[in-house]
A and B are shown apart, each in its own frame.
Chain A
Amino acid sequence: SQKIEQNSEALNIQEGKTATLTCNYTNYSPAYLQWYRQDPGRGPVFLLLIRENEKEKRKERLKVTFDTTLKQSLFHITASQPADSATYLCALDFSGGSYIPTFGRGTSLIVHP
């Protein structure tokens, strides 16, 4: 069956460093992959989308890579700030045509001042 894996352990880093989060998937070739941010008590917020034919996408301090051979996406936050502390979810289109994303469980990022 299709599976999305994100590290369940929180990632703790120091302010100013680059945070790197990983999303691995199995048994499917998604048309696109998205990253969302979720703060406690709030709904997920869309950050970036990368398509299967794109290797890398950037938005301000965010960078996403998509390796369809490794079946992996990396999400980077450069010059991290305590305000970046949140849970980050990846979502992939596993729906075989209807383009409805399936979400991973998310990884918590904690940026220490």
Chain B
Amino acid sequence: DARVTQTPRDKVTEMGQEVTMRCQPILGHNTVFWYRQTMMQGLELLAYFRNRAPLDDSGMPKDRFSAEMPDATLATLKIQPSEPRDSAVYFCASGLGTGKQETQYFGPGTRLLVL
């Protein structure tokens, strides 16, 4: 049963620390998305990649967030330095990128708490 995996599942850190979240997309999927979910804002798109190339990261605070895909099996989202307002659940999703529709398969999320 193919699924998206994310690590860590939970992370508690102190303000100013670096946080790295990892995602393994479903094998064969060529599109990867990073979302942030909070009660106030709902599900917000931070960035997405197609064939490992970043296509849009306009939803991401550039000064502290960075997203990369070192290879087809790994996507990373880094926050440096972290702030309390970054506390949220971060989801990675992957898709087939068929062009006419983008059904997304979500991972279980990383719950981040910045103290």
Contacts and interface: CB of A to CB of B under 8 A. Distances in A.
Contacts of B103: 34, 46, 49
B100 A99 contact: yes
Contact of B48 (A32, A44, A89, A100): A100
Interface residues of A, number: 22
B107 A43 contact: yes
A51 B48 CA distance: 23
B7 interface: no
Contacts of B91: 43-44
A75 B106 CA distance: 21
B10 to A, nearest CB: 10
Contact of B43 (A41, A44, A46, A99): A44
Contacts, number: 50
B25 interface: no
Contacts of B102: 93, 99-101
Given A42-B109, A43-B91, A102 B100 contact: no
Contacts of A44: 43, 91, 104, 106
A99 B99 CA distance: 7
A105 interface: yes
A103 interface: yes
Most central of A42, A43, A101, A102 by chain B CB within 10 Å: A43
